[in-house]
Structure 1
Amino acid sequence: MQMSRGITVLTLTSLAASPVGCTSHSAADEASDELAIGGAAEPQEREGSSPGLVRAQSCEDVAGALKVKLAQAMTEQLQANLDQAMLAATYTCDELYGEEEEEEEEEEEEEEASEYSGTNVQVEDVDEADFVKNDGGYLYILADGRFQVLDAWPAAKAHALSSYPIKGTPRRMYVHENTAVIYSSLEAWSSEIADTECTYGYDCDFTGDGRNLQVTVLDISDRAKPRLTREVEFNGSYLNSRRVGMDVHTAVVFPEYDVPGLSYWPDALPGVSCGLKEQGFSPLKVQQLFAKLRVANLKRIEAAPLTGLMPTVRDTWYYFGGGMDVTEGLLSACDDVYLSQTGDARGFLSLVSFAIDGYQSMAASTIMSRPGAVYGTKDSLYVAVRHQQEEQDGAWFPELEEEGVDEATTVHKFALQPGGSAAEYAASGVVKGRILNQFAMDEYEGALRIATTTGHLPDPEVHSTVEVLREQGSRLVELGRLDHLAPSEDIRSVRFRGDMGFVVTFKKTDPLFVLDLADPGAPSVKGELKIPGFSTYMHLMDHDHLLTMGYDADDQGDFAWFQGIQLQVIDVSDLAHPSVLDKEVIGTRGSTSDAATDHLAFTYFKARDLLAVPMTICEGGGGGGDFGDLMTFSGLLVYRVTVDGGFTPLGGVPHEEPETEETWSGRCDNWWTDSASTVKRSVFMEDWVFSIASDRVNVAQLDDLAHPTASIPLMDE
């Protein structure tokens, strides 16, 4: 026993026996670490958490490991409620709340354009899924629940050609040669996960949308008549993917298993925050009720069937001329699953691979892990998962605990295999801090560079770190570290180029740090540039220049208000002395663009020095924290951008009428991380631009952007 605030302290394990049985015993033992009642538990010797994954030997291993984590999580939550109940059973309402303070709260027609823009990918020749694809002759768009094909060339005669209805809500796709691979969301399995996609990661996490995933494969050799060839359904949701040649690799996240019937408050105990003693519930009685509830919960966990724990797949092939073939079952065999040693993983993540031109089953590599940011190369795919010490069931990472760091990112590496074979789990590692997005990772000459931020503004201890990791056996081990970068600021964008790195942090100005990563064991700052505002995306314009997008800022001394959208051309030819060549500020506070937080909306057509960005422009307002008064433009802005000439505005393709005082609708109250432009994507074909919103595509010539030649509806009217 212990004493805390004059209360007799017992452990749940001293009040109730654990269920009997081999698997039950292990789960109960792992979950029963001296859970104190009414006070802190005595510390026990633990080896600490490890980022590494261990291959399961059997289905019993998988079920046992998962049930241990479920039992630990259940016990943690039960303890939190017990702490509240003990206060209610010890003090009257007057005693408890009297001591507290209230808180505040027309030429010859060709089939294809000679030059055209494609998907803005992070890594060359590694395609990323999007809801718009372009091959220079046809435009493919997911809208209104359909896969739609537009005959786009010649642009002056662009028109809708065909459409195919997709089950669920189509989200992303690949189009390669004569095949379209479409990802759609079906019914929800979680109401706690927002039905949105996290692309930037500053104030959202990479979780998937909480809906079952379907992959639909269409034969589009006849663009006018797409034909269904395959549908694959998972009991998990789409996280991210990459296409390398004919191979598609998809990260699918499966729900954390929820055992039906678990309870976290005794039925007999009133749900009050004080005065239980007056209702006949002594501290000892409360302890006994919770101990009994814990035993009942453990029994439910141990009885949970394995079939409810594992990732499953249903694969349906449709044959030409009729007929179909259906197979379903576990996505991965139990002995092909890798088990997590972190305490907060109670679900699975699978990397599912298949060849577009193949007829084999989906191949998968499955690990026990929470979802995270995804970065991919031709040969590897990495998943970076954020962790908080306070959310960790059990011990923290020993190396980070020694540093006093309570935020971490684990990184899991998969080796991609050709021909639709399953990727192989390769190694895992852990770094301090939290990752921003996929651009904070980069693989170069076999080493992974990763940038993270530790802490949250306005804490003055906030700082950033760049670490270099290399695979050694099954571990990603640290080769070198650049720590305490930009104290009191956090990361807003990252980009790597060969043995150099570029990191933008922010509190009230935009320090652009140029990093020398030539020696992976000793990364260092090569140069620095301070500019008002901050960049949320950096594009590699050429070897010596960055093309950035973000926000202007109004310095207030201790902090700065974000203002209008800001574009910059930055010269990094002299790495020690980077400089701004030109800057363009668009609108006032509340102006917004999808391209600011989603690189797929940013279209730089290098062949013709053209840049297109979706924009909702707001004007007026008094500066500082005041948002703009009126929306003056909603559509696509187009610039010619050169190193010598900077930004030359070519005009805009309109999609909505500007607001007036009579038609004001509050369109300008946009937060910087929540992009909300009407236009979502754009495509260049020679001297034409296609401006794509959710309801229509406007097609315009560069010399007359304000008057589109064609407007093609995407919604049934």
Structure 2
Amino acid sequence: MKGNLKALGGLTLFFVLALVLGGIVSYQAYQISPYPRFGEASLERFQSCSALTDAFKEAQQKAQSYYMVRGIQDLGVAVPMAAEAGKGVPAYSTTNIQVAGVDEADIVKTDGEYIYTLSTASYRYGEGGSKLIIAKAYPAEASEILSETTLENFYPQEMFIHGDYVLIFGSTRQEIPIYRETPPTPPGMARAEIMPYPYYPDFATIKIFDMSDRSDPELIRSVDFEGSYLSSRKIGPYVYFVINSYPKYHILEGGSDEDIIPLYRDAKKQDIGKNISFSKTCGCVDVQYFEPINPERFVTIASLSLEDPEAEINKEVVVGSGQNIYASLDNLYVAEMNYPFWFGVRSEEIPQEKTIVHKFSLDEGEVSHVGHMEAPG
């Protein structure tokens, strides 16, 4: 009997040890998962404007007639969130939210008491047509439209609300003169002057309205980024957004290297309605990249605070291609596709296409690059 008990005890101990060892092996296997992780490699900066333009020119020469442009889309599908309780108003559901605490822009917003709507004109850049509509929603017996603010020469896309402020993302088209260098004049001949000619690029435009009086919203800031608006997130009062800008190769012929940098203009309340000049989004040596350089376009990751709508805008400009974004409370992820083929012909010696995801930390409006990872496909 004792022998059987000893045998049983030994067998039990064996199984216990097996389970423990198995757990350790499983844990170690999990720890060395083959899935890629974010590397800590920091972004580099171009040393000069000529180095920046050379990188883009080299990419253009490689691509030649085959320049692949990928469609831009935003990651994920919005899922409904639990209703939030307000003071003095009934519970209401937030719109277009994927992550708790991370707000996403939309064409319709509500704070429980008012409903804010963007009405888009059927024509894109005509005067008038598009409107910001504010309606009283609670209490129901007092519901009414309070204001319809015309958004002239502006195509609205989506918006955020925060307290008494509304921030609207949209697009505009501006006339920009291009100046060419005058060619040398032979002796004895009159100097030839080349008149500037305009081009009409698209701009991602941000408009901020003060809604202290919701019957008469006041435009207090208008910001233009040359390029197209990709997407945005709001965490607390801080709005983070991504702009894509294509390099202006045609301007480089006869122009200066710094002309490749996207244009930027910031008109605050006292400057609204004035003819404010455009400047460069940043200096050439402020543009960042990582090896290997993939100079498809400029990606600007920027932020501003709706608690202080006149504060400076933080901007980080990276050479790459922003195509999808995702945000948590602490980080922003920007994904781009990398295609290792040109002229439409693949080489078996070249790796297949891959996705590169950049990770940026978010801290009260500050945006910092943390690292990036690569994944096949």
Structure 1 length-normalised TM: 0.36
The answer as to 2:264 corresponding to 1:313 is yes
Structure 2 equivalent of residue 178 of structure 1 = 164
Distance in 2 (CA, whole Å) between partners of 1:127 and 1:392 is 41
Q: How many angstroms apart in 1 are the aligned matches of 2:93 and 2:375?
A: 37
Distance of aligned partners of 1:412 and 1:375 in 2 relative to their CA distance in 1, 3 Å threshold: same
Query: Which residue pairs with 1:339 in the alignment?
Result: 289
Tell me by how many angstroms 1:413 deviates: 1.4
Higher relative contact order (CA 8 A, sep 6+): 2
Q: Find the aligned partners of 2:312 and 2:343 in 1 and give their Cα distance.
A: 36
Give the corresponding residue for 1:386. 337
Tell me the residue number matched to 1:133. 109
The SS at the match of 2:249 is: coil
Distance 1:129 1:243, change over 3 A: same
CA contact (8 A) 2:62 2:342 kept: no
Tell me if 1:242 matches 2:227: no
The aligned counterpart of 1:365 is 316
**In the alignment, which residue of structure 1 is the partner of 2:376?**
432
Does the aligned pair in 1 maintain the 2:298–2:320 contact within 8 Å? yes
Contact 2:109 2:161 in 1 (8 A): yes
Is contact 1:142-1:172 (8 Å) kept? yes
Secondary structure of 2:53 counterpart: helix
Map 1:73-222 to 2 at 5 A: 73-74=63-64, 77=66, 113-144=89-120, 145-166=130-151, 167-187=153-173, 211-222=202-213
Q: Which residue of 2 aligns with 1:353?
A: 303
The CA deviation at 1:343 is: 6.4
- After TM superposition, the structure 1 = structure 2 runs for residues 608-647 of structure 1, keeping only pairs within 5 Å, are none
- Counterparts of 1:343 and 1:55, CA distance in 2: 11
Q: Is the 8 A contact 1:253 1:348 kept in 2?
A: yes
Q: Judging changes above 3 Å, is the alpha-carbon distance between structure 1 residues 112 and 305 closer, same or farther for their aligned structure 2 residues?
A: farther
1:383-422 to 2 correspondence within 5 Å?
383-391=334-342, 406-418=352-364, 420-421=365-366
Could you list the runs of 5+ residues in structure 2 that have no partner in the other structure?
Answer: 1-40, 68-85, 121-129, 176-200
Q: What is the SS of the residue equivalent to 1:221?
A: coil
For residues 143-195 of structure 1, the C-alpha deviation after alignment (integer angstroms, 9 at most, x for no partner) is 14111101111235422111212241111111001111001112399xxxxxx
RMSD of aligned residue pairs (Cα, Å)? 3.3
In the alignment, the residues of structure 2 paired with residue 52 and residue 235 of structure 1 have an alpha-carbon distance, to the nearest angstrom, of 26
One-letter amino acid of the structure 2 residue matched with residue 56 of structure 1: F
Give identity over the alignment, percent. 28
Match of 2:61 among 71, 77, 81: 71
Q: How many Å separate the matches in 2 of 1:122 and 1:370?
A: 23
Instruction: Check conservation: 1:72, 1:393, Cα contact below 8 A.
Output: no
More displaced stretch, 53-62 vs 217-226:
53-62
Whether the aligned pair in 2 keeps the contact of 1:53 and 1:428 (CA below 8 Å) is no
C-alpha separation in 2, matches of 1:254 and 1:393: 24
Evaluate the alpha carbon distance shift between residue 77 and residue 409 of structure 1 in structure 2; reply closer, same or farther with a 3 A threshold.
closer
Distance 1:344 1:337 in 2: 13
Q: Check 1:115–1:68 CA distance in 2 against 1; reply closer, same or farther (3 A cut).
A: same
Give the counterpart letter for 2:307 in structure 1.
D
| Structure 2 CA distance for partners of 1:115 and 1:172, relative to 1, 3 Å | same
**SS in structure 1 opposite 2:372?**
strand
Equivalent position SS for 1:70: helix
Cα–Cα, structure 1 residues 147 and 370, in superposed 2: closer, same or farther, change >3 Å?
same
- Residues 1:227 and 2:194 are matched in the alignment: no
Q: CA deviation at 1:70?
A: 2.2
CA distance in 1 between counterparts of 2:214 and 2:102 reads 24
Residue 67 of structure 1: CA displacement? 2.2
In structure 2, the residue matched to 1:659 is none
Contact 2:47 2:285 in 1 (8 A): yes
CA distance in 2, matches of 1:343, 1:127: 33
**TM-score of the aligned structures, taking structure 2 as reference length:** 0.67
Q: 1:60 to 1:136 in 2, by over 3 A?
A: same
Q: Which runs of 5+ in 1 are unaligned?
A: 1-50, 79-109, 190-209, 261-299, 434-717
Q: Distance in 2 between matches of 1:323 and 1:186?
A: 15
Q: How many positions carry a matched residue from both structures?
A: 283
